[in-house]
Every structure is written in structure tokens, then in C-alpha cells.
Amino acid sequence: MTGLHERHLAVSPEWLALYYRHPLELTHGEGRHVWDADGNRYLDFFGGILTTMTAHALPEVTKAVSEQAGRLVHSSTLYLNRPMVELAERVGALSGIPDARVFFTTSGTEANDTALLLATAHRGSNQILAMRNSYHGRSFSAVSVTGNRSWSTTSLSPLQTLYVHGGVRTRGPYAELSDERFIEACVADLEDLLGHTRGVAALIAEPVQGVGGFTAPPDGLYAAFREVLDRHGILWISDEVQTGWGRTGDHFWGWQAHASSGPPDILTFAKGIGNGMSIGGVVARADVMNCLDANSISTFGGSPVTMAAGLANLSYLLEHDLQGNARRVGGLLIERLRAVGASSPAVREVRGRGLMIGIELVKPGTDEADPEAAAAVLEAARAGGLLIGKGGGHNTSVLRIAPPLSLTVAEAEEGAEILGEALHAAT
């Protein structure tokens, strides 16, 4: 055990997880690579949990941060803030939400917490619909709408949460149905659930479940849900903390895979927009955002430095068509990983879109999740020079692949080869 690891254990909560038997201290990065304190170089396929969106040490972002820090680091929302207004204008326009208002936070958890506050205040109800296997953050309210037992740290809650089918396509009672019948069954479940309630405030849903193992419903499920929600006056919150900014390749936002319903009433975002700087936020229609009847501020949300980073990062993303790159290189990567998975009896499914890919592991010959195998593959991939993540609603048995969106074809091929070797060595 390293001295730093010992010091970490002495001052940190026991529930603060670290990857690997011998945890890594990362010291610097460049492009799609990072280095540890021992000088080892790794291809980064997890990006600090989908947060290093464009590249490590992207010159455009580091320059913007340095220049803004040299002028003014902090002011709070009590003063006019040009970078915050400029980024809000761009995000509001990109969101697709009409008459959009934008509120910046410091994390995705805080963004979802704010969205829940808005929805419950607007509707005068503390009842929330959420998806099974979901994850929305670590605050008291966000945990209370998290449908993943591994990350739901308390059953106490300020909200009454009701869980709906649909977030996981290939497990559960509807798994064997066609996509069309699957959607019909999930809508019927929603209708039945609403028949036993009154005054539900909102449905919160990730278009692709992140911590849940990159699972997703068939395209169109949330459009079908929206028809039901609209009849009842229920708001739709799309949690885009992991799916936003073009990561799925096909769409800029995850909700656009269900676009026949139009944009959500509330959209939350975080992670990638700051490329490592602490930015989260909420976009909502003006009538929803303005429903609060008391004052509020954010001390750190929308800080000049983080907003400068977000502006530079978003400009780079759009100017270099990183959504298109996620679609093209992600398509190649998932094809390579499916070929790897086909030769491993431990791989139940390789799924995903764009640069958001999950590999679900099971005990060979069964449908039983195998978290020990996932942990072993994580270690073997690191030994081969590749960093990946893990998750899943079935005891963290899903390998999570989410590189920066500037990933090259050569790096995709290299990562797939290392991961293939790790799978065969560890399972």
C-alpha cells in the first residue's frame, strides 16, 4: 500500500470507493492519455466518469481558464457575469426547449436536485416517477429517486418515488418482447401505476442509464410515455448528465432519440461540458423555472472560471464535430468490441451507441451477473495500459467504455485489442 493510499484511508469515509487493488494516482494527461505517479501511460476510456469530454489538457480550455483566472476567479450570481450569460444563451438555444431559462450548478447531483425542486414546486406535489435501475446523484433527494440498489444509500426520502419499467431492454419481465410490444407493455405499466396515484409532479429519466450499465429502452419509449404524462399534466425531466453534448453520436441530447415527443420540460446537464471543471445546470421552460416564489442564488454555480472553460470546450466540440466523431469512431469501436465479446463466454451483451458502450459480464453458461469477473477485467485492462469503468444494476458486472469524444480510429483499435486481451486473461 502506498503512503498516499494509507493517508487517503486515514482521512476519507469508508464508502468513498477507489478503483483497483493498488489505487492509481494520476498526475497528468494529454489528449486521450493519462500518466500515473510511477510514470505509466494509459489510454483513457473512462474520462473521469464521462467528464473529460474533449481531451485531457485541451489547449483551448486551459488557455480560457488561465486567462479568466488572471482577471477574476469568483463573483457569485449576485453580480452580472458575462461568461455565464454567454454560456446560458448557447446552452438554452441548443437544448431545444422553447423560451428556455438556464440555471448553473456545480454538479449533476445539484442539477437534478434543482430539477426536482422546480417540478415539485410547479406541480405542488412530492410524488416523482423514476426508472428502475436509474441513478441521479448522491444528494438526499437524488438518492431518493435512484432505482439502483447499489447506489441508493438510504430508504428515507423527502419524496414519494414510484418506479416504472423501461430503462433496461434485455432484462426483466418484458425482455423477450419485440421493441414495439416492449414499449406497449411499459406504457401499460405506467398507465396502471398512474391509476393508483394522484398529482404526480414529474418523471425523471436518463435516456441511457449511466451508472446502471449503459442500458437504454427502444427509441420512442419516452415519446410514448410523454403522451401519457401530458394527459396528466406531469412534467418530464431528462437527465442528460451523461448523455448530453453528442456522446451518443446519433444525437446531441439523449432525449432526441424520442424526439417525436418534442423536448423535455426540464433538462439537466453536467460532466462533459466543463471538461473537468465543475459545471452542472438545469434548462427549463420559463414558466417552470420561474415558479419558485422565494429568492435564491448560487455562490459557486456559474463561476467566471468554469463558465470560461465551458464556453471554450463547447466551441471546440461544435467546431470539430465531435458528435460526428463519436458516431463514426464509436460505431467502429462497438463493432470491434462485439467481435471480441462473441469469442468470450463471459460476455452476455455488448451494447451502446456512440462513445457510450457497455459490456455486460455473466458467469459462463448462465444469465447470472459476475461482478468478480468485471473487477478482474478492470485490473487486467489497467495492466495492459487501458483505463475503463464499471457499473450496472446487477452487482456492477458491466464494463463501461466512454473515452473522450476526440478518440481516433487508431486509439479505438488499440483499446479494443487491449480489452480483448484483458477479457480472455481474466474470464
User: What is the pLDDT at residue 157?
Assistant: 80
pTM: 0.95
Can you say how many angstroms the Cα of residue 137 is from the centroid of all Cα atoms in its chain? 10
Residue pLDDT, tens place only, 131-190: 999 999 988 888 889 888 777 777 778 899 999 999 999 999 999 999 999 999 999 999
- Say yes or no to pLDDT of 407 above 90: yes
- Give the pLDDT confidence of 272-297 residue by residue, as tens digits: 999 999 999 999 999 999 999 998 99
Q: What residue has cell string 431545444?
A: 96
Q: What count of Cα atoms within 13 Å lies in the side-chain half-sphere of residue 341?
A: 19
Which domains are present in the chain? 3-58+321-426 (3.90.1150.10), 62-319 (3.40.640.10)
Helices 221-232 and 179-194: crossing angle in degrees, nearest 10, is 20
334 phi/psi in degrees, rounded to 5 = -65, -30
pLDDT in tens, 59-103: 999 999 999 999 999 999 999 999 999 999 999 999 999 999 999
Which amino acid would we find at residue 225?
A: F
Residue 154 confidence (pLDDT): 76
| pLDDT 10s digits, 258-275 | 988 799 999 999 999 999
pLDDT of 55 reads 98
pLDDT average, residue stretch 110-125: 97
* Across 407-427, average pLDDT: 96
Q: Give the burial string for 97-126 (b: 16+ CB within 10 Å, else e).
A: beebbbbbbbbbbbbbbbbbbbbbebbebb
- For residue 92 the three cell numbers come to 438554452
- Distance (Å, whole) CA 85 – CA 311: 10
User: So what's the pLDDT on residue 140?
Assistant: 86
**pLDDT value of residue 325:** 98
Per-residue pLDDT band for 394 (boundaries 50, 70, 90) equals low
Give the pLDDT confidence score for residue 1 in this predicted structure.
55
